[in-house]
Amino acid sequence: MKFLLCGLGSIGKRHLNVLRNLGEKEFFCLRSGNSEVRTPGDVIELRSISEAAGAGITAALITNPTSLHVETAIELAKQGIAIFIEKPLGKDHSGIHELSRICEEKNIPVLMGYNFLHHPAIHFMHKLVNEGKAGKVISARAQFGTYMPGWHKGEDHTRSYAAQKHLGGGVVLTSIHEQNYLSSFFGEVVEVKAMETKGNTTGIECEEGIEILMRHESGVLSSVHLNFFQKPYYRNCQIIGTGGTIFWDFMKPVVKFMNADHTDVWKLGAGAFELLEESYRNQMIHFIEVAKREVHPVAGLKEGIRDLEVALKIINEIGRN
């Protein structure tokens, strides 16, 4: 297969390395000419998407800033190219209906870049929920905290896409994983409430911390805490049911089930970052299968639109629209 990477920032490079490790060898990248990032020697540069058809591109990864996702996807879809879109789908509703129409008319496969759906722990928790391990699930809570100023040493974090509203930044869109996997567990979000933290400790122009409440169509009430100011990195999820609690801490490669009588522990790997790398590998394996039209995407354009619409409601709820 021939892969086009639309963006070679940190996430683009990560996907490129995964594809290399999977044995793929033909890579192209779309360069604007404005980036200081050097193109790897095994990657051929293209200056426009219109060159992709002549190059025989079969699959493209959209890993540029969020604000460019939809317009890039539209141009790729017009050429019949299978598309991987790094989360989130976009920063607003612009172009979404056109993209959906083109993909439907041309039968373009689309996979959203929710790597946590491919994470062994998230996958295992979903399995336990479906099997009724915790009984009837009543509520769930997910948390994610990271220290944005420490993401890239020597760089001004306020200039990153995640810090700038016009590029689709802010903790709600950037950290949309929790919203996504909770919706995959418990169904569509039918009601949402949110409150923003105050203080602006990171100096960014977007929301840096938020508490979210979501009512799912299954009746489950989930809450999500997201922030860009926490030290150290923290991510977890607990699912509370009538039969007990399912718990996962990102930094530990295990999933636990606890009730009044006992605790079950399932070890899923050697370490947290091994599981994270496995999520990216599993995701790219799945994308290759999707691009070849061998399987349906676990999270396609429909789910990307669904999650973006909920995220925009959250942002509107805190007056950040």
pLDDT in tens, 245-272: 999 999 999 999 999 999 999 999 999 9
Average pLDDT, the chain: 96
Q: What is the Cα–Cα distance from 196 to 200, expressed in whole angstroms?
A: 10
Confidence of residue 54 (pLDDT cuts 50, 70, 90): confident
Residue 319's pLDDT is what? 92
Confidence of residue 233 (pLDDT cuts 50, 70, 90): very high
Q: What is the Cα–Cα distance from 201 to 314, expressed in whole angstroms?
A: 21
Residue 35's pLDDT is what? 61
Confidence of residue 36 (pLDDT cuts 50, 70, 90): low
Q: What is the DSSP letter of 226?
A: E
Average pLDDT (238-243) is 98
Helix (H) or strand (E) holding 83: strand 82-86
Average pLDDT (123-129) is 98
Confidence of residue 45 (pLDDT cuts 50, 70, 90): very high
Between 45-54, 213-222, 226-235, the lowest mean confidence (pLDDT) is in: 45-54
Over the stretch 149-185, which tens digit does the pLDDT of each residue have?
A: 999 888 999 999 999 999 999 999 999 999 999 999 9
Confidence of residue 143 (pLDDT cuts 50, 70, 90): very high
- Chain centre to alpha carbon of residue 6: 16
Residue 257's pLDDT is what? 98
The 10 Å Cβ neighbour count of residue 159 is 10
Residue 111's pLDDT is what? 98
Name beta bridge partners: 248.
237, 255
Q: How far is CA 211 from CA 141, 145, 147, in A?
A: 11, 12, 17
Q: How far is CA 280 from CA 16, 209, 266, 271, 286, in A?
A: 11, 26, 21, 15, 10
- The predicted model scores a pTM of 0.96
Half-sphere exposure of 257 (CA within 13 A, CB side): 18
**Which is more confidently placed, 153 or 99?**
99
pLDDT at position 32 over 80: no
Integer-rounded Cα Rg, in Å, for the chain is: 20
pLDDT at position 304 over 80: yes
Concatenated DSSP letters of 180-201: HHHHHHH--EEEEEEEE--S-S
Which of 77, 104, 86, 63 has its CA nearest to residue 302?
A: 104
Residue 321's pLDDT is what? 76
Q: What is the Cα–Cα distance from 4 to 55, expressed in whole angstroms?
A: 10
- In the chain, the domains with their CATH numbers are 2-108 (3.40.50.720), 116-276+299-317 (3.30.360.10)
Q: What is the DSSP letter of 305?
A: H
Average pLDDT (189-214) is 96
Q: What is the Cα–Cα distance from 260 to 237, expressed in whole angstroms?
A: 19
